[in-house]
Chains A and B, each alone.
Chain A
Amino acid sequence: MRLVVAEDLYLLREGMVRLIEAYGHQVVATAATGPETLEALRRWRPDVSVIDVRMPPNQSDEGLRAALAARAEMPGLPVLILSQHVEQLYARELLSDGSGGVGYLLKESVFDADQFIGALERVADGGTAMDPAVIAKLLSSSSPSRGLERLTEREHAVLALMAEGLSNQAIGRRLFLSDSAISKYTTSMFGKLGIVDDEDTNRRVRAVLAYLNKP
């Protein structure tokens, strides 16, 4: 994969480049400010990019703005936002166009390199990668009228992992369940939530998130 890494702290940027290259991917450009990020995204159209929310010149949400602006120009451009903190507000903004290919993770998710690179690849494929903290908040703050209270504990766990962007196989591995058990759970869950399932992972995740996003 060809990547752009946008992060203003030198040590972190270099560390991330090293990690990504250790997994055999290519970093085509790095950026340290919001405008630089937008410029690099326009020029390279990377398969996926890793972007920090807060960057110079204003030390506000320059990175997120650059990512949103780039996606407005180039719909579906895969971006993975990596931040010191996760905010539902930002996650909703990223998901709002519903076209997939977005991720929003805490910086410490790079600690588990395998999972981090997995998330990057998922986003590059047009899937989603959401931090469990965001998903937990999305699930807990959605009002009970949406049918969530009818889910069993297991179904809830499956939904949360699904919302993070994991495939059925991956969910099965995490919960120590067989694939067929997972598809049984997802089918009953979709029934309770009233979502039409078409066996497409990305659309499935987007459906879940869009459902949770409803005002």
Chain B
Amino acid sequence: MRQLGIWAERVGVGFVRSCVVAVVTMLAPAVWAVAVAWAIWWGPGNPWSWLGPFVLVCVGTLALSRPVCRLARSLVARWTGTLIVAGYREAGPVVRMSTGYWWNGFSYERSRRDAVLDQKWRVRWKDPAVWRDVRFTGIVPFAAGVVASVPPAGIVAAVLGLGRPGPDARLAGVLGLAVAIATAPYAWRLLVPVAVRFLRPSRAMAMTERVEELTAQRADTTVAQAAEIRRIERDLHDGAQARLVMLGLALATAEKLMETDPDQAKALMREARGGAAASLAELRELVKGISPPVLNERGLVDAVRALALDIPLDVAVSADAGLRLDPPIEAAVYFGVAELLTNAVKHAQASRAGISLARDDAGLIVEVEDDGRGGANVRAGGGLAGLRRRLAVFDGTLEITSPPGGPTRVRMALPCDSL
């Protein structure tokens, strides 16, 4: 009985989906059919008879391509969970120049409206995604639409056949019903492979996108690195270097005063010793900021343990033993964990936290959880945005769930084959 219910549900859902696919994919053929009818109505005698229908087919297909493809993508995503990236080219900003004219990346226009319109058409015309859509709109009625039309056609046949007297008509009706029921769960499925095959951005386009992404990342990294080097230079210049100069000065003065005023010389030397200790402490902080000593000496897991000890929180660390990664990845993860723990102390007012480091088939998974008040989000220019950028260099991702009231859970995932 339950089996029957499941089966009936599958048939019902399949039938509805087949009908939807049939309607969506047959929109373009409907326009073509109108054009053909128009041509026949004008007859072969009219020398212009081909022109009107031809324009109708072209314009109709072009205009329908985007909505049809949008629908197809959303249907596939909804029914099977397969995401197909649209990859339409984005129009750049339209800016007003000092001359009062508008620049849209291609041409100067007198008004903003003209500039936007011109840009829209240029972008559309050059966008390979648009031509991909047109191709799909032309192919899909034959590749998927015909099959998807079988169940509704069977129902139509059943209604027509059973409504008419005579054994032949009855037989055709029953046959139509059987075909409709048998094919309903499967008929719509052809849409998925066809959409995946023809709607996915081509290899070249995916590559172009990847190159753009990497270029942006490289720019980010270089800027961040330059800023870091400037910071280090400034810290050294204002801190340790200045202190060492003072140290030399104090020693030189003490040398001079040694005979005439030994007491003051002694005081100066004590001062010099204090200065040396202070500059060492400063250098130590600086080194820790560049590359934490425990990280170099023991690797990621112990460095995170050491970090957990230094943070005024109850931190539990669980990690795979013997987890060693390439130094740049270890550094990125270490500073990421440090940032998250700092946030937990400073912003979330947490009292305890848990860190887990583990590797699976995909790579390294780091999870940091605290019992703070939550509400963490990624703001442009904030620490979390910086962390996301740092991870992006290694194709890593950062996921944050932090409802107001807590708790905050952060998951960093880094793909690595080198493991």
Mark A residues whose CB is within 8 Å of B.
53-54, 59-61, 84-85, 87-90, 92, 106-108, 111-112, 137, 140-141, 143
Contacts and interface: CB of A to CB of B under 8 A. Distances in A.
B273 A111 contact: yes
Interface string B258-273: 0000000000000001
Nearest to A138: B309
Contact of B284 (A54, A60, A84, A111): A84
B256 interface: no
Given A85-B287, A89-B306, A108-B276, A140 B294 contact: no
Nearest to B278: A108
B280 A87 contact: no
Given A84-B293, A85-B287, A85-B288, A111 B276 contact: yes
Nearest to B294: A87
Nearest to B314: A143
B67 interface: no
Given A88-B309, A111-B273, A141-B310, 13 more contacts: A59-B296, A60-B296, A60-B297, A85-B287, A85-B293, A89-B294, A89-B302, A89-B309, A92-B309, A107-B280, A108-B276, A137-B310, A140-B312
Contacts of B273: 111-112
28 contacts: A59-B296, A60-B296, A60-B297, A60-B298, A61-B298, A84-B284, A84-B287, A84-B293, A85-B288, A87-B294, A87-B306, A88-B309, A88-B310, A89-B298, A89-B302, A89-B306, A90-B294, A92-B309, A106-B280, A108-B276, A108-B277, A111-B276, A137-B309, A137-B310, A140-B312, A141-B310, A141-B311, A143-B314
B297 A61 contact: yes
A159 to B, nearest CB: 18
Contacts of B310: 88, 137, 141
B305 interface: yes
Contacts of A85: 284, 287-288, 293
A15 B281 CA distance: 20
Nearest to A65: B297
Contacts of A87: 293-294, 306
A60 B296 CA distance: 7
Contacts of B302: 89
A99 B359 CA distance: 37
**Chain B contact surface mostly:** helix
Nearest to A143: B314
Interface in B274-310: 276-277, 280-281, 284, 287-288, 293-294, 296-298, 302, 305-306, 309-310
Contacts of B293: 54, 84-85, 87
A131 to B, nearest CB: 12
Given A54-B293, A108-B277, A89 B314 contact: no
Interface of B: 273, 276-277, 280-281, 284, 287-288, 293-294, 296-298, 302, 305-306, 309-312, 314
A179 B309 CA distance: 34
B309 to A, nearest CB: 4
A137 B281 CA distance: 16
B58 to A, nearest CB: 71
Contacts of A108: 276-277, 280-281
Contacts of A107: 280
Nearest to A112: B273
A140 B314 CA distance: 12
A88 B315 CA distance: 14
B280 A54 contact: no
Contacts of B284: 84-85
Closest 3 CB pairs of A and B: A61-B297, A89-B306, A88-B309
Given A84-B284, A85-B287, A53 B297 contact: yes
Greatest chain B CB density within 10 A among A84, A85, A90, A137 is at A85
Given A85-B287, A87-B306, A89-B305, A141 B277 contact: no
Contacts of B281: 108
B289 to A, nearest CB: 12
Contacts of B305: 89
Nearest to B276: A111
Contact of B309 (A53, A84, A141, A143): A141
Contacts of B297: 53-54, 60-61
A202 B222 CA distance: 54
A63 B82 CA distance: 55
B291 to A, nearest CB: 11
Contacts of A54: 293, 297
A110 B221 CA distance: 41
Nearest to A133: B281
Q: Which of B296, B297, B309 has the most CB of A within 10 A?
A: B297
Nearest to B293: A85
A85 B286 CA distance: 11
A112 B38 CA distance: 103
A100 B407 CA distance: 42
Contacts of B287: 84-85
